[in-house]
Amino acid sequence: MEPYLTIAQAYMPEYPVVPTTERQHIAARAAGFIRGQLALQPFYIALPLRILSIMLYVLMRLFGRGVLRLVARMPGGDMVERFYRSLVSLCFFENAQVLATLNQIDPETRLSQFRARFADKA
């Protein structure tokens, strides 16, 4: 899980600002989400993603976050960047504290309002 945790921390949005402990919690949740999404991919998609993920993790450990720009320019690197950035952003913006910072309602309330709106039409 360590490689996915490092990658999740690197691709996490910087705005809105949330406390460090909450960022770590979001990164851990995003790492688990990434692992789950990779498990759902067909082999011919998952294998290149895993290989590029290991390469990305090693490069980040050696050279830091600045290597993300280099990886994005490599063949297939833009695919990896979009994959991770979208999954991490999804976990980040579903977090209750992030939504509260943005003055948005939490996902459970939004879902119940959505269902209530369509239940009235049925």
Question: Tens digit of pLDDT for each residue in 18-33?
Answer: 999 999 999 999 999 9
**pLDDT class of 1 with cuts at 50, 70, 90:** low
Average pLDDT over residues 22-51: 92
In angstroms, rounded to a whole number, what is the distance separating the alpha carbons of residues 92 and 25?
A: 10
Count of domains observed in the chain: 1
pLDDT over 90 (residue 80): no
Would the pTM of this model clear 0.85, i.e. be above it? no
CB 29 within 8 A of CB 111: no
Instruction: Specify the higher pLDDT residue, 110 or 12.
Output: 12
Angle at 93 between CA 39 and CA 41, to 5 degrees: 15
Residue 2: what pLDDT? 84
Amino acid identity, position 43: F
Q: Which residues contact 50 (CB under 8 A, 6 or more apart)?
A: 38
Structure-model confidence comparison of residues 76 and 104, the more confident one: 104
List the domain range (segments joined by +) for residue 40. Answer: 2-121
Rounded to whole angstroms, how far apart are CA atoms 69 and 96?
Answer: 30
